[in-house]
Structure 1
Amino acid sequence: MTNQVLLDPSNSSDEDCCPDESLFAIYHSRAAATRNFIGALPIELLLAIFTHLYRSSRRLTQTGEIWRLDDPLSSLFPYAPAAVCSMWCSALSCVPEFWTRVVIRVDSQHTQSRDVRRYFEWSRNLHLDVIITRHHDEFDGDDKREGSKVFKATRELVRHIERCRSIRFNVMYSSSLPSILHDFHQEAAPHLHTLKLKCKVDDGGSPHRKLVHWRFDAPGLRHLYLDARNFFDVCVDRNNWLRRLPNLNSLSVSRYRHLSEKGIDLYKLLRAVEESPSLAYLELKDLHFSRLRPWTTVNDISIDLISMNLEDLSGEAFSEIIGYVDSAPDATRISRCAITTCHHSLISGGVAFHDLSADQDLMIPLAHWRGRTLSLVNCACFHDDFLRDMIDELYLINCTKFSPRLLKTMVLKRRKLARRSIFWRHDQETLDWTFPIVAPITLISVEGGPVLSKKDREWFDKNLGSFHWDEQVLHSPFEDSDDSDHDIRGGE
């Protein structure tokens, strides 16, 4: 009996896809049995259905075809059709490509260990994308058994880590996450490009143990998402793993809210980031830093980035981080940070503020900003005073405490200042020009804004190159997808 693969990745057309002969054996072995309509489907039709489901579960990227990450667990291929009947499961199990996305649930409907082992076996020797996760409705409450379920899943994963292209953990507690220092010690993952260790709550983590000569070889790693404890275990001091990741493009460090007052060392974190040879995007989320040394005396760190995302940070930490980024990132996103005590001005080309409270002062980090695009989403601190001297492109989402009258005044004032240094007639002609003093405002987009009169709408339409104003609250174009590799702006 041959063992030909149904979907050979080297083939580009459907004509080259040949079914495994064992599938026909599965079908004919049940020929004598009484079957319902589902069980009586011809094997050719089953294969066509499964192949269609497989391809619809994947998407095309710049680097090739990959599994989609936004499919609901309840309809996930191949697990949903495999649960229909034993014949379907048997047919699916004979096609290794179908099982190259290994999804292991660690919630109330957790995947049994025997099933996990079968999934890895059915994928044979193909490369894998492994996801260890909970259903999105099961991240609240209490789950004392999560740690043991994740431990069992990790143990099976490590046995096949050399085949993994991506590994994603999305669990409730930081203590449930594997320890890179110990669970991955002396392992090799030559095909691994994405490693995500994400949790919702920092509950203190597992006890710290030190290894002097730690090693985990993943030379192709491009996207790394770590909880703070794992990051400090393997990415600081002599062990700095980032130095041994020449292709690392994006890094995320998150979740440190220990119950004690002691925080993590900001200087060590930034020093480790600085030593990464090719890092372009940095994300720091929900971190509590200590002040073991005066931050203001440490001025020998210089970090070059293309994009940066900062969330839920204190004012002192936010200010220090902004000060150490010497380059001008193309984009900086700031969410729920204290910005009023910032001692440095943002130098990013594009800045997006999210969920800032009314007591924050936007002008402090923007006092000397010379970027092109400013976006504000759910920011109660945006009001008329801020409109008096800002920007050439303005995006406002769900911000209502300002008047169209002063917005018109800002447009006119910026136009007047621009005319002092350069001759121009129409805003549409200035989109690619450089203005020595200040550029005129050419674009305004408002979603979920205050009521705009017909007269004012006509004025904005006439005086701007691009104008949009919607008084209804719409879906924000800046929202992150549920679990995408682009959630820290890194590509696959």
Structure 2
Amino acid sequence: MASPGSSAVHRPPTDEHRLLLSPSLTIRDRTSFTTKLAPETIRQILQYATALDIDYFDDPTTGHLEREGNVGSDASYLGRVCREWHDVAVSTPSLWTHITAFVDTPHTVESLASSPLQTHLRLSFPLPISVYLRRKVKIPSSLDLDEQHSVMTLLHAVKDHFARVEALVIEANTSSSLPNALDLLGDGSEIFRQPLSGLKTLALRCNADDSILQPLPNSLSPQPPHRSLPLRRSLTTLYLDGRNLLEMLRSSLAGRNGRGVDSENVFSCMPMLEAIGVNNLTCCVDGFSEELIHHFFLDILPSFQRLSTLLLERFDLEPPQYPYISSFNLEEVMPGTVPTPLVSLSLPRLIIKHTKRESIGFVLRCMARPHTIVLDGCFLSSPTPSSSSFPSAPLEGVLSCSRLVLANLPCDFDRSLPGLIAQWDGEYLELIRCTCLGDDFWTELVRLLSPEGKPGPDDGRGRLPEQTRERTRDNQHEPFLGHLRSLKVIDCPNVHPDCLMIFLSQLRRARSTTGGGSSSGFGENSRAALDELVVAGSRSPKLETGAQMKWAKKLVSRTVKWSPLNLRH
């Protein structure tokens, strides 16, 4: 048992940390209030309160990434409610397995020796632990020069427990503050002397890349150093910043060409990967090349047999950034002109965040019809002919996915978005925190759905893609959005109920025409516009009258949920 003075959690609770009770309670009530709860009930309350939910691969409905400072409650503080709660807390290792420390706070070996970090490491033993090294402030007002030192100091403080670490998440402001992924995935001999043998999740994320300003040693070396990576069968989730990914790709290419690290020991050491994410992979990252990008999409991704999710955040391949573009034929270097598909890779879920249209088009041409596509905070508009001489990349892959999620789109896309949605041929549409869903958006969508209307141009320049022209010729009687069954509008403050009702009425009118889509699948209400309608969120509009809800139920065959409350928490 740890010594009584080793941590604040072992001191008797003070009055300032007790529950605030009503003055009307008697003295007997005050002394017996918390003792009425069974230890197992207290344990469940503490486990719920200390739960930490960080999932970069989740849909934006939950908004984990937007919850700045979401680090959960400290079990030591919750244990100060009373002595019984304290005893339950310190005797329950599972309450201490999620360990959070901040990289934008100065740390030393001496300060960490008596910190809550050591308390969590001690009280969580012998269970597996998840370590989150995060930022209190998402974007600093100035460059954090000591951030890298804080990260390394925290890792060294945890290294003796590396065998228990099953999740390691490190968020930094700049990429130079992140550790080397190959060191973390190695046998531990390079820096930490202890391997992360039970690692299931490794996430290295940064707000910006500064590799040009602070290049890594050997970043320009043509031959990476020889290394041997052990087999990581437990690793299922890998999320890397662009610079770390490029270094691994260079090592893989070097091994394949017989110049360095064996490619079987770089990516093939993780055969159980189910989700891969990349953050800040742009043409400005030191060491970026088309060869490495093609190696990633053509060779690496298809090699993972269990891969189900690909996440790309700030993925930028815009050709005008290439310094040698004038020496190539434009058709050879434009991402939008890559043959479709590049690979026979079929992923259930593709998530793209904060990425331009041209780069999105490149990714979609590398995939074989993902079931779900999430575009979060992406730039869907294309440059006008007068502002750029480069052709725009079409988003053909978006049009054929079954489930489409569009999130965090600003008002600037109220004109281009209806054209994209009108051509989409899926069943489930989710619009989340999109301020562009005003009256003009629904009016334009209604116009495009009318018999005299035409689907909006997908390329942003007034041209109709060849796929849409062929679909129009082959399905003269099928309305656009003919397969839409579910519509979810979440936290979109500019949506007016009347405009949404007009859209649903137009959609139902299109279904009621001869050969009008898939209306036969809507049960008894064969003339319904949708199978499911959900309007929710703290900023969602409310139905003004009962007549509006009654009318909505006529337009939807099964489920209508219209609530100002969040669906998920």
TM-score relative to the length of structure 2: 0.62
Change (3 A) 1:406 1:120: closer
Q: Does 1:279 align with 2:288?
A: no
1:441 is displaced (CA, Å) by 3.0
Q: 2 CA distance for matches of 1:423 and 1:84?
A: 61
Higher helix share: 2
Q: Specify the code of the residue in structure 2 equivalent to 1:145.
A: D
The answer as to whether partners of 1:264 and 1:289 remain within 8 angstroms in 2 is no
Q: 2 CA distance for matches of 1:158 and 1:422?
A: 58
1:259-338 matched pairs, under 5 angstroms = 265=290, 266-271=293-298, 272-289=300-317, 291=319, 294=333, 295=335, 296-297=337-338, 300-338=342-380
The answer as to whether partners of 1:349 and 1:370 remain within 8 angstroms in 2 is yes
Partner of 1:462: 554
The answer as to whether partners of 1:318 and 1:339 remain within 8 angstroms in 2 is no
Q: Among residues 182, 188, 191, which one is paired with 2:198 in the alignment? A: 191
Q: Does 1:225 align with 2:252?
A: no
Q: Does 1:350 align with 2:375?
A: no
The answer as to whether partners of 1:58 and 1:68 remain within 8 angstroms in 2 is no
Q: 2 CA distance for matches of 1:344 and 1:74?
A: 39
Q: Does 1:395 align with 2:493?
A: no
The answer as to whether partners of 2:443 and 2:499 remain within 8 angstroms in 1 is yes
Change (3 A) 1:287 1:412: closer
Q: 2 CA distance for matches of 1:450 and 1:80?
A: 37
Residues 323-363 of structure 1 show CA distances to partners (whole Å, capped at 9, x for unaligned) of 22213414534432325544242222110112334345235
Q: Does 1:254 align with 2:279?
A: yes
Q: 2 CA distance for matches of 1:456 and 1:202?
A: 50
- The number of equivalent residue pairs is 431
Change (3 A) 1:102 1:35: closer
1:9-408 matched pairs, under 5 angstroms = 22=1, 55-58=44-47, 68-69=52-53, 75-78=73-76, 81=79, 99-108=96-105, 112-114=111-113, 115=115, 116=117, 119-120=120-121, 123-135=124-136, 137=137, 139-142=139-142, 143-187=144-188, 188-204=195-211, 207-209=216-218, 210-235=224-249, 237=253, 238=255, 239=263, 241-256=266-281, 265=290, 266-271=293-298, 272-289=300-317, 291=319, 294=333, 295=335, 296-297=337-338, 300-338=342-380, 340=382, 341-345=392-396, 346=398, 347-357=400-410, 358-359=412-413, 361-362=416-417, 365-366=420-421, 368-377=423-432, 378-380=434-436, 382-387=441-446, 388-389=448-449, 390=481, 391-396=484-489, 397-400=492-495, 403-404=499-500, 406-408=502-504
Q: 2 CA distance for matches of 1:409 and 1:35?
A: 62
Q: 1 CA distance for matches of 2:106 and 2:86?
A: 19
1:129 is displaced (CA, Å) by 1.7
1:149 is displaced (CA, Å) by 0.7
Q: 2 CA distance for matches of 1:174 and 1:233?
A: 13
Identity of aligned residues (%): 15
Change (3 A) 1:168 1:53: farther
2:301 is paired with a residue whose SS is helix
Q: 1 CA distance for matches of 2:515 and 2:287?
A: 54
Q: Specify the code of the residue in structure 1 equivalent to 2:530.
A: I
Q: Specify the code of the residue in structure 1 equivalent to 2:368.
A: D
1:463-482 matched pairs, under 5 angstroms = 463-466=555-558, 468=560, 474=564, 477=567
2:206 is paired with a residue whose SS is strand
Partner of 2:509: 413
1:403 is paired with a residue whose SS is helix
Partner of 2:534: 445
Higher strand share: 1
Partner of 1:6: none
Q: 1 CA distance for matches of 2:284 and 2:522?
A: 55
1:244 is paired with a residue whose SS is coil
Q: 2 CA distance for matches of 1:476 and 1:168?
A: 27
Q: Specify the code of the residue in structure 2 equivalent to 1:252.
A: G
Q: Specify the code of the residue in structure 2 equivalent to 1:327.
A: R
Q: 2 CA distance for matches of 1:371 and 1:302?
A: 21
Q: 1 CA distance for matches of 2:544 and 2:428?
A: 23
The answer as to whether partners of 2:504 and 2:529 remain within 8 angstroms in 1 is no
Q: 2 CA distance for matches of 1:36 and 1:423?
A: 65
The answer as to whether partners of 2:182 and 2:248 remain within 8 angstroms in 1 is yes
Change (3 A) 1:459 1:100: closer
The answer as to whether partners of 1:104 and 1:110 remain within 8 angstroms in 2 is no
Change (3 A) 1:439 1:132: same
Residues 424-467 of structure 1 show CA distances to partners (whole Å, capped at 9, x for unaligned) of 6x944369xxxxxx995333334535976765554333342246
1:167 is displaced (CA, Å) by 1.1
2:417 is paired with a residue whose SS is coil
Q: 2 CA distance for matches of 1:418 and 1:211?
A: 67
Q: Specify the code of the residue in structure 2 equivalent to 1:270.
A: F
Residues 22-75 of structure 1 show CA distances to partners (whole Å, capped at 9, x for unaligned) of 58x969xxxxx9998899xxxxx99x9997665434369xxxxx9544896584
Q: Specify the code of the residue in structure 1 equivalent to 2:199.
A: L
2:197 is paired with a residue whose SS is coil
1:314 is displaced (CA, Å) by 1.4
Q: 2 CA distance for matches of 1:260 and 1:109?
A: 28
The answer as to whether partners of 1:190 and 1:217 remain within 8 angstroms in 2 is no
Segments of 5+ residues of structure 2 without an aligned counterpart are 6-10, 18-33, 55-68, 189-194, 219-223, 256-262, 323-331, 383-391, 450-480
2:513 is paired with a residue whose SS is helix
Q: Specify the code of the residue in structure 1 equivalent to 2:511.
A: R
Q: 1 CA distance for matches of 2:135 and 2:173?
A: 8
TM-score relative to the length of structure 1: 0.71
Q: Specify the code of the residue in structure 2 equivalent to 1:56.
A: I
Partner of 1:10: none
Segments of 5+ residues of structure 1 without an aligned counterpart are 1-21, 28-32, 40-44, 61-65, 432-437, 482-492
The answer as to whether partners of 1:166 and 1:194 remain within 8 angstroms in 2 is yes
RMSD over aligned CA atoms reads 4.6
The answer as to whether partners of 2:97 and 2:127 remain within 8 angstroms in 1 is yes
The answer as to whether partners of 1:74 and 1:80 remain within 8 angstroms in 2 is no
